[in-house]
Structure 1
Amino acid sequence: MRHQLTRFLVAGVMGFLVDTGVLYLMLWLGLGYFAGRAISFLCAVWTTWQFNRRYTFAPSRHQSIWAEWWRYLAAMSAGGGVNYAAYSGAVSLLRPAPWLPVLAVAVGSVAGLVVNFATAKWWVFRRARSQ
């Protein structure tokens, strides 16, 4: 499980970079902190799913890749709720600054980590062999 958690954290760092980068792009395009974050979150979830299904957890042979994606999106949305609440709190409570989006995404990512790992390991990839 330690190796899975380490790889899950690597995927999380990748997702964080995508999430933050896309959020700054969305802000530059004129979307606000909340609409921009909805788009950046979906991009980050897709990125982490690609990494996690290949390197962290063995994909299930009992479900289609399409079904796996929807399960993963649902699972990450549970942690995403925690993540988004923490992100929203940071955006609402802190003074606007150039570094605010990256800090708020980081706060949200840490807050949702445990929920995301648990749902990925024991729900999305539960039929996969343990490593």
Structure 2
Amino acid sequence: MQRQLIRFVFAGGIGFVVDTAVLYLMLWLGLGYFAGRAVSFLCAVWVTWQLNRRITFSASGHQSAWAEWVRYLAAMSVGGGVNYAVYSGVVSMVRPAPWLPLLAVAAGSTAALLVNFATAKWWVFKHARSNHS
């Protein structure tokens, strides 16, 4: 399980970069902190699903990729609620600054990490091979 958590954190780190980059792009396009984060979150979830199904949990084909994606999106939405609440708190309490989106995404992602790992491991990928544990 320790290896899986390390790989999950690695995938999450890449997801964090995607999340933050897409958020800055959405802000540049005028979408705003909250709608922009909804778009960036979906992009990050898709990227982390691709990584986690290949390197973290080695999805074994017990479900279709589409069904797995829907389960993963649902599972990450649980942690996403935690993530978005912390992100929103930071955005609401800290003066606007160029680094604010980065700080807020980092705080939200950190707060949701264990919730996301638990739902991925024990619900989405519960039938995955355990050779990565």
Same fold (TM over 0.5): yes
* 1:28 lines up with 2:28 in the alignment: yes
Q: Which amino acid aligns with 2:65?
A: I
Question: Runs of at least 4 residues of structure 1 off by over 6 A?
Answer: none
Per-residue deviation, 1:128:
1.0
| Equivalence for 2:126 | 126
Q: Specify the SS of the correspondent of 2:117.
A: helix
Alignment of 1:1-131 (within 5 A): 1-130=1-130, 131=132
Q: Deviations over 1:90-110 (max 9, x none)?
A: 000000000000000000000
Instruction: Find the aligned partners of 1:103 and 1:60 in 2 and give their Cα distance.
Output: 36
Instruction: Find the aligned partners of 1:17 and 1:126 in 2 and give their Cα distance.
Output: 27
Q: Specify the SS of the correspondent of 2:103.
A: helix
Where structure 1 has 5 or more consecutive residues not aligned to the other structure, the ranges are none
Per-residue deviation, 1:129:
1.8
- Over aligned residues, Cα RMSD in angstroms? 0.6
Instruction: Find the aligned partners of 1:104 and 1:78 in 2 and give their Cα distance.
Output: 18
Per-residue deviation, 1:60:
3.5
Task: Using the aligned pairs only, state the percent identity.
Answer: 76
Q: Specify the SS of the correspondent of 1:74.
A: helix
Instruction: Find the aligned partners of 1:83 and 1:65 in 2 and give their Cα distance.
Output: 25
Instruction: Find the aligned partners of 1:39 and 1:60 in 2 and give their Cα distance.
Output: 29
Per-residue deviation, 1:126:
0.2
Per-residue deviation, 1:62:
1.6
Q: Specify the SS of the correspondent of 1:127.
A: coil
Instruction: Find the aligned partners of 2:55 and 2:61 in 1 and give their Cα distance.
Output: 15
Instruction: Find the aligned partners of 2:96 and 2:106 in 1 and give their Cα distance.
Output: 16
Q: Which amino acid aligns with 1:98?
A: P
Per-residue deviation, 1:65:
0.4
Where structure 2 has 5 or more consecutive residues not aligned to the other structure, the ranges are none
- Size of the aligned set, in residue pairs, is 131
Scaled by the length of structure 1, the TM-score of the pair is 0.98
